[in-house]
Each structure stands twice: as C-alpha cells, then as structure tokens.
C-alpha cells in the first residue's frame, strides 16, 4: 500500500524521470530512512541512475554526532556515497538574528543545493509527508501567514517529496513491517515547541471532528496551490508594468484586489527590501480609493505616500531628539535629560 502511494505521488507530480540522479536529505530519522529504503528498492523500476545521501549535523543535540555515525553506517551498508557537514546552527542563528528552526532550514537547504550542484544530482529528495503538510498548514494558519496556508508542494524546482501522499502512521507501520532501523529525535516530543504542540495536542483533537483530516487538507492544499499559481502568474504580468518609483492610481484601481495586493507587496519589497505585513497591505488597499493625501509608515526608514493621483515610497526624514510613547501615570526615563518623569493628565 505504501509503495503504491509512493509511486502514485511520483507519477501524479512527475517527480522523477528515467536517468535522474537523486540526492537524499538524510537525517537518519524514520522519514528519511523509509524514503531511502523505498528509493533503493524501486531504483531499477524507476530508472534512477544514481542515489546518494547528504547529512547535515546541526550540532543542536548531544546525540547529533551519534546520529551522523548511524547515517554513515547506513550508507556503508547500502553501498551509497554520503556527504556530511557539521554546522553550529545556534551560532548561525545568533549571528543572523533568526530563529534556530529558520537557521537550521536555511543551512540545510543551502548544503543540499551546494552538493547537488557540485556533484551533478538532478533531484534532491526530502522526507516530508502528508502529516508534515497538515502541520505546516495549521502552523501558518494560527500565525496568520497567508503564504504558508497552502503548505509545501510535492515538487519545487529540483526538490521533490515522494512521501507526499503518506501519513506518519503509515510510515511507522511500514518501518515496523520491514524492520527498518532509524534514530529518534527526542526533541520532536517537546510540546513547548509550537510545531510539536500542533502535532501532539491540536491535530488529535481535530481528528476527533474529522477522522479524514489529512485527506481533506491534502485536497485543500492542492487547490490553494492551483489558485496561488494562477494569481502569482497574473501578478507577474501586471508587476512588469509598475517598476517605476511611483504608481498612478488610475492605472491600478481596476485591477482585482487579489492581484493588486500581491503586486503592491512585491513593489514595496523591491523598493525597501522588506515585505510589508498583511495589516500594512490592508491599510494601503483601504486608502487607495479615498480622497486626499495619506501617509503610511512601512518600516523604520520608509513610508508610503498617497497623493491625489499616485502612490510612491520615500525615505523618512531623520529627526533629532527622542520620542516616547507612554500612558498617563507611567514613568519614563528621559535619556537626554537623565531623569525620570511621571506623566499626569
């Protein structure tokens, strides 16, 4: 059953073709180990030319070095090449002011792309599965991120996800039936991590309401991805016309808002280097058809200005002194005068 789902995903999304060389993102966990087992078993059937492993040691857990040894042993036993690298992810996250999870993802995909390019692999496979897709969609939903609600795709450029149709429970059963050995990341069970809280606490409750949650959300993701692809393509067509420093209002007010807000988001990013929040974009949409002049602060350094006939972005003027936002009765330390002052109204 699992192998049929594996082959169906490959066929439905055109993930592999004859002669492909495949680099597996291999952590040694159950997902990547089952993925490697399936690819090795079906290598000749699929016409795969070459399979290798790539393991990134994130240095995040005390077991990380032992996990790397497991991966190297697995590769040796299966007669596979393995590319490894050890990275201080916490140090990287601190240096570039990002979360550890974000840093881990960034360095992992950078490593995979680097190896694939250097060694001539045509595809990079990851162990992401249907349960991961559901978690990702819910994670982005509760954080108010529209872009992430559609989840990840089965195929994104060179990266493919052949486990796309499989749930975590199915992967566990397959590993048990085939007696597949793998390492266990204990951090996946810590419910103080948001993704794990969704996995262990929220999803079981949702499945009491809809036992077919994974299947339902799979089709939701597929249709959201179709819609998003269409709208993004339309957005590109419109955006090519608006590369100037200002946008004439009479040129954009007839554009459907589903495309317009995407266009404005991209335009602001090109001008400022920062993606505006959804709240900011909503504010901008609301002022476009209003009369008079309006200004909206975009970042610390930029603001959007709406005149009677156009919108444009300008740098904020630097002002001397300090500004304090306080409530009545609160005490504030005024740095320029070096004393505390309580405000009474």
pLDDT of residue 274: 86
**Where along the chain do the CATH 3.40.50.620 domains lie?**
2-220
Architecture of domain 242-315: 2-Layer Sandwich (3.30)
Instruction: Provide the pLDDT for residue 29.
Output: 95
Question: What is the pTM assigned to this prediction?
Answer: 0.82
**Ranges of CATH 3.30.465.60 domains, the chain:** 242-315
Please check whether the domain covering 2-220 is classified as CATH 3.40.50.620: yes
271, with CB counted inside 10 A (0-12, 13-18, 19+), is middle
Query: What burial letters (b/e) apply to 174-188, b meaning 16+ CB within 10 Å?
Result: bbeeeeeebbebeee
Q: What is the pLDDT of residue 46?
A: 96
**Dihedral pair phi/psi, residue 340, rounded to 5°:** -90, 145
Q: What pLDDT does residue 344 have?
A: 46
| Torsion angle defined by CA atoms of residues 53, 57, 58 and 61, in that order, rounded to the nearest 10 degrees | 120
* Mean pLDDT per 10-residue segment, the chain (345 residues): 94 96 97 97 96 94 91 96 93 85 90 96 97 94 85 96 96 96 85 87 95 96 94 85 80 90 90 88 91 88 90 78 59 54 47
**Distance, CA of 8 to CA of 165 (rounded, Å):** 8
């Amino acid at each position: 059953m699992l192998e049929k789902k594996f082959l169906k995903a490959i066929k439905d999304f055109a993930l592999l073709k004859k002669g492909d060389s495949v680099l597996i993102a291999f952590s040694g966990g159950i997902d990547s180990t089952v993925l490697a087992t399936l690819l090795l078993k079906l290598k000749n059937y699929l016409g795969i030319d070459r399979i290798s492993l790539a393991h990134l040691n994130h240095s995040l857990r005390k077991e990380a070095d032992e996990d790397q040894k497991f991966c190297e042993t697995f590769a040796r036993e299966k007669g596979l090449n393995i590319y490894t690298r050890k990275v201080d992810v916490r140090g990287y996250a601190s240096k570039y002011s990002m979360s550890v999870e974000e840093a881990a993802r960034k360095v992992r995909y950078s490593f995979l792309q680097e190896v694939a390019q250097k060694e001539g692999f045509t595809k990079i496979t990851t162990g992401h599965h249907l349960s991961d897709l559901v978690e990702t969609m819910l994670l982005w939903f509760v954080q108010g991120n529209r872009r992430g609600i559609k989840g990840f795709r089965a195929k994104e450029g060179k990266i493919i996800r052949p486990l796309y149709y499989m749930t975590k429970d199915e992967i566990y059963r397959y590993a048990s039936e085939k007696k597949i050995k793998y390492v266990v990341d204990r951090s996946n069970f810590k419910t103080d991590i948001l993704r794990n809280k969704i996995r262990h606490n929220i999803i079981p409750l949702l499945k009491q309401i809809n036992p077919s949650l994974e299947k339902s959300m799979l089709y939701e993701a597929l249709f959201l991805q179709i819609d998003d692809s269409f709208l993004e393509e339309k957005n590109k067509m419109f955006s090519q016309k608006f590369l100037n420093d200002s946008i004439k209002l009479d040129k954009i007010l007839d554009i459907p808002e589903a495309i317009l807000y995407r266009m404005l988001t991209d335009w602001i990013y090109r001008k400022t280097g920062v993606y505006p929040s959804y709240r900011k974009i909503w504010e901008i949409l609301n002022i476009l058809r209003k009369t008079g002049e309006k200004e909206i602060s975009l970042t610390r350094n930029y603001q959007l200005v709406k005149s009677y006939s156009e919108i444009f972005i300008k740098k904020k003027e630097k002002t001397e002194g300090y500004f304090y936002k306080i409530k009545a009765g609160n005490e504030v330390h005024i740095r320029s005068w070096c004393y505390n002052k309580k405000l009474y109204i």
